[in-house]
Amino acid sequence: MISPAKINLGLKILFKRQDGFHELKSIFLLVDWGDEIHFEDSENFILQSELDPNLPRKEDFECVSERGEVTKNILYKTYLKAKILQPKIKGVKIYLKKRIPTGGGLGGGSSNSAQLLKYFFQTKFPLPFNDEFYTFSSTIGADVPFFLVGKSSIVGGIGEKMEIIELPQFSGILAIPPFGINTKEAFISLKKPLQESIGSNDWRYLSSDVKSPLLDGNLSKFHSLIANDFEPFATKVYPELSKLKQSMLDYGMDFVTMSGSGSCFYGLVTNENKIPKIKDNLKGSFREFQFVSFKTQ
């Protein structure tokens, strides 16, 4: 099965919480591209992985795979958490083909974790996926609840608060650089003030000037109304990302932004027939980058 990547339509970091996490507001979308993952019964935890030959920064994954220190892999951490919730769980054998890069803002690890939780608690030992379960899953990774829901959502809190939003299907190109962004450094760069969570539901709401073109699929208008707070930091550290974004727009994409805390950028188009030519142009201009065509789910 596919363990899908996600992209962010805008990302606003509101403030730093007392527990050290940051409150955010964003729109998360799943794409029809990601890792391949399969599960089998086992007496122990076993991970067997292979890497897509196009995957950049292979060493980042290798060090937490079965060829490195697997106990640092999010799948192993998910397994241990699941056993606390359900002691009858013995083990699991996982086959993983890794395509989603680390440090790209695409949520690859959280997506893998969510698929394993679904295997345990939908297939083996069914449990209701309710607010309590989403809170539990967020202790593994902030994006895990979204991947459990598996639908386009307005997201708040640290990622565990969600409201499903029905959107048109978009086509686009994902640009994967040969480098990642250090998430901790990205958050530090924002210098957000420390404050207590105020329990507001403001994260749920989109202003009408944003919501209307988004629901209508008017990407060109939407482009000027939403932004990713991490993008200035990423483009300062890696100026080639600014060149990438401008080239994606120049080649004909209607909307271009960074996903998550970076380093991956993506572009969306109204006319998907333009994608092959745009992709060829990008490959010619940025030979060290990987470019993937996708559709939102």
Write out the catalytic residue numbers: 6, 143
CA dist list (Å): 278 to 175, 218, 253, 283, 288: 12, 19, 8, 9, 16
70: left (phi over 0), alpha (psi -120 to 50) or beta: alpha
Element (H, E) at 177: none
Q: Which of 86, 142, 157, 152 is nearest to 117 (CA)?
A: 86
Extended strands (E) in 177-284? 255-258, 265-269
Extended strands (E) in 106-238? 153-156, 161-164, 171-176
The answer, yes or no, to whether the previous bond of 65 is cis (omega within 30 of 0) is no
